[in-house]
């Protein structure tokens, strides 16, 4: 698969699927350097390095969140947003991890003290069969599911591991590498 950026309009051209390449627009790419870590939380996510990569590590016993602040691209047209979460398991090669994602719009009409996340989307994903393999998990958000976000709006993106959920059976830490927001 090939990936290239069309400099004329900012479109991200991905792959060569039957019928030609698919076109989407990449808006944001977040790493641990962009994260807002919760304060005063025992057992919260922590920043670590692994093989020269900076990761965010979530333990397997707790429900824990991390926030990424962003601003929706001015070219966003209200289409579906794809949130892609790139992650690895610390040691697990079996079991499932439960991941949540959600948006909180923070535009000029919101009160920062009372603004809430729209309903979270949840997925359960199998651990990679090989330790260290990077897994890409995606969430598809309609504009309504993304808290009604529009072009230019600031927002927070929440990513969570639900370690206390019975269906989260992956032992060991879940390690977040990168999160991207794009239009398909």
Asked if 121 and 101 count as a contact pair (C-beta separation under 8 A), the reply is yes
Contact present, 41 and 64 (Cβ < 8 Å): yes
Tens of pLDDT, residue by residue over 1-59, are 334 444 444 444 333 334 433 446 788 999 999 999 987 777 789 999 999 999 999 99
Residues 149 and 141: beta-carbon distance below 8 Å: no
Is residue 157 a contact partner of residue 70, using CB atoms and an 8 Å limit?
yes
Torsion of CA 105, 109, 110, 111, to 10 degrees: 160
| DSSP-assigned letters across all residues of 63-104 | EEEEEEEEE--TT--S--EEEEEEEEESS-SSSEEEEEEEEE
> Domain 26-183 - what CATH class?
mainly beta
Q: Which helix (H) or strand (E) holds 28?
A: strand 22-30
For β-strands 81-89 and 174-183, DSSP reports them as antiparallel
Domain chopping of the chain, boundaries: 26-183
DSSP designation for 36 = B
Q: What is the pLDDT of residue 1?
A: 33
How much is the pTM?
0.85
* pLDDT at position 114: 82
Residue 138's SS3 state is strand
Summarised one tens digit per residue, pLDDT across range 95-147 is 999 999 999 999 888 888 888 899 999 999 999 989 899 999 999 999 999 99
Token pair recorded at residue 184: 């398909």
CB proximity list for 145: less than 8 A, separation 6 or greater:
103, 118, 119, 121
Tokens of 134: 């990077």
């Amino acid at each position: 698969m090939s990936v290239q950026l069309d400099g004329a309009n900012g479109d991200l051209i991905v792959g060569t699927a039957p019928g030609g390449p698919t076109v989407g627009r990449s808006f944001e790419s977040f790493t641990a350097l962009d994260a807002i870590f919760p304060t005063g939380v025992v057992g919260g996510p922590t920043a670590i390095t692994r093989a020269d990569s900076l990761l965010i590590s979530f333990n397997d016993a707790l429900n824990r969140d991390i926030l990424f602040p962003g601003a929706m691209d001015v070219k966003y047209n209200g289409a579906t947003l794809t949130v892609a979460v790139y992650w690895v398991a610390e040691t697990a090669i079996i079991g499932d991890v439960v991941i949540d994602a959600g948006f909180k719009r923070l535009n000029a009409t919101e009160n920062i003290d009372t603004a809430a996340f729209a309903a979270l989307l949840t997925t359960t994903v199998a651990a990679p069969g090989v330790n260290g393999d990077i897994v890409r998990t995606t969430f598809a958000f309609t504009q309504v599911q993304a808290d009604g976000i529009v072009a230019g709006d600031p927002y927070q993106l929440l990513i969570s591991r639900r370690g206390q959920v019975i269906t989260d059976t992956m032992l060991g830490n879940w390690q977040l590498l990168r999160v991207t927001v794009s239009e398909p």
